[in-house]
Amino acid sequence: MASILNAFDSEALQLAAKTIQQGGLVAFPTETVYGLGADARNPMAVARIFEVKRRPSIDPLIVHVASAEEAEKYGRLEHKNAHLLMRQFWPGPLTLVVPKRELVPQIVTAGLATVALRMPAHETALALIRRAGTAIAAPSANPFGYLSPTDAGHVSREMSQQIDIILDGGKCSVGVESTIISLIGSKPVLLRPGGTPVEELEKVLGEVQRFEALPERPEAPGQLKRHYATRTRLEVFSGVEHELSIRLGERIGVLSLGPLADPGRYAAVEVLSSSGNLREAAANLFAALRRLDEMDLERIVALPVPEIGLGIAIMDRLTRCSARE
Query: 85-102: per-residue pLDDT in tens?
Result: 999 999 999 999 999 999
Mean pLDDT of 115-129: 98
Q: What is the pLDDT of residue 311?
A: 97
* Helix (H/G/I), strand (E/B), else coil: 305: coil
Residue ranges of E strands in 222-311 = 234-236, 252-256, 268-271, 299-302
Query: CA nearest 182: which of 142, 160, 204, 210?
Result: 210
- pLDDT, one tens digit per residue, over 236-283 is 986 656 565 667 678 999 999 999 988 888 999 999 999 999 999 999
Q: What is the pTM of this model?
A: 0.94
- How far apart (Å, rounded) are the C-alpha atoms in residues 119 and 129? 10
Q: Is 76 exposed, middle or buried (0-12, 13-18, 19+ CB in 10 A)?
A: middle
Give ranges for CATH 3.40.50.11030 in the chain. 234-322
pLDDT at 216 over 70: no
pLDDT at 186 over 70: yes
pLDDT at 232 over 90: yes
Give ranges for CATH 3.90.870.10 in the chain. 3-210
Q: What is the pLDDT of residue 262?
A: 86
Peptide bond preceding 91 in cis form (omega within 30 of 0) = yes
Assigned CATH class of 234-322: alpha beta
| Superfamily of 3-210 according to CATH | DHBP synthase (3.90.870.10)
- How far apart (Å, rounded) are the C-alpha atoms in residues 12 and 281? 31
